[in-house]
């Protein structure tokens, strides 16, 4: 079980009637939103330019959140998620139809990125951000419809698909396939895990493509209070065995330190 031992992601929303906004923001309804960085996070205008350049679809979206992923987040209790941009309050409830996430990870040898979008799985823009036991006490473990994936990472299946799976919560989690997710294992960490009851636990923010048997993006361990680095990655993490359980989305691997930039 993942216990409390201790992206950026940019969130954009797309208008059905796409009047462009001049600043990163959720659009007013009807709209679509994108989160940049490893979650709903991005750190700068440069990231926003990158996603629009890499993924033409993103040009119809507006930024909701931006976050530079730290080595060790420990976003719990009185420690909020330190978004550099937070436009969540500018969107009317139910005023968007799709949500997208963008993540860039940079090493000395280059930059890897992934963009994924899906039909809205909540009517609250705030709820699409990183779960937080105090400031955003939400959890999502469910199928999402009309998943799209774009990436420059070898092995990540790109394209448009009927469905995906999301696992987003601030709790601990274990391997059992609690909701009978398609093709998920009862003994390995994947897209069919069991949410724990600890209010501030390990933390999971994962988007999966079960049809391809792989993760799209993963950001974990950000809700714990230990000094260990967080887990972040694009695509499946293969070939690793942790406490006897193969896991496909970087749980336990403290990978943030690998990257010089995580946005």
Q: Can you say how many angstroms the Cα of residue 226 is from the centroid of all Cα atoms in its chain? A: 21
| CA-based end-to-end distance of the chain | 28
Alpha carbon distance 35, 26 (integer Å): 10
Q: Enter the pTM of the model.
A: 0.79
Domain boundaries, the chain: 8-262
CA angle at residue 120 from 119 to 124, to 5 degrees?
175
What are the pLDDT tens digits along the chain (263 aa)?
Answer: 444 333 334 444 444 432 222 222 222 233 566 554 333 433 334 445 677 778 888 877 878 888 888 877 778 888 899 998 888 887 777 778 899 999 988 888 888 899 999 999 999 989 999 988 889 998 898 899 999 999 999 889 999 999 999 988 887 765 656 776 665 665 666 666 666 777 777 788 989 898 888 889 988 877 777 767 778 888 876 544 444 444 556 666 666 777 765 66
Alpha carbon distance 29, 77 (integer Å): 32
Structure tokens at 46: 């440069």
Q: Quick one: pLDDT at residue 248?
A: 55
């Amino acid at each position: 079980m993942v216990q409390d031992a201790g992206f950026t992601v940019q969130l954009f929303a797309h208008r059905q009637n796409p009047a462009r906004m001049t600043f990163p923001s959720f659009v007013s309804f009807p709209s679509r939103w994108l989160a940049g960085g490893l979650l709903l996070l991005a750190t700068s205008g440069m990231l926003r330019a990158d996603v629009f350049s890499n993924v033409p679809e993103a040009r119809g979206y507006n930024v909701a959140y931006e976050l530079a992923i730290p080595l060790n987040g420990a976003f719990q209790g009185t420690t909020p998620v330190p978004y550099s941009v937070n436009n969540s309050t500018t969107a009317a409830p139910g005023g968007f139809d799709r949500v997208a996430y963008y993540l860039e990870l940079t090493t000395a040898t280059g930059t890897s990125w992934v963009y994924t979008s899906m039909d809205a799985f909540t009517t609250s823009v705030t709820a699409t951000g990183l779960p937080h036991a105090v400031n955003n006490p939400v959890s999502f473990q469910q199928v999402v419809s009309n998943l799209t994936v774009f990436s420059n990472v070898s092995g990540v299946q790109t394209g448009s698909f009927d469905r995906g799976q999301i696992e987003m919560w601030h709790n601990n989690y274990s391997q059992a396939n609690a909701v009978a997710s398609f093709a998920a294992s009862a003994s390995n960490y994947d897209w069919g895990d069991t949410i724990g009851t600890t209010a501030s636990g390990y933390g999971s923010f994962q988007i999966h493509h079960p049809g391809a048997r792989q993760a799209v993006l993963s950001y974990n361990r950000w809700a714990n209070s230990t000094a260990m680095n967080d887990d972040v990655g694009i695509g499946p993490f293969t070939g690793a065995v942790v406490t006897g359980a193969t896991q496909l989305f970087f749980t336990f691997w403290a990978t943030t330190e690998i990257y010089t930039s995580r946005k």
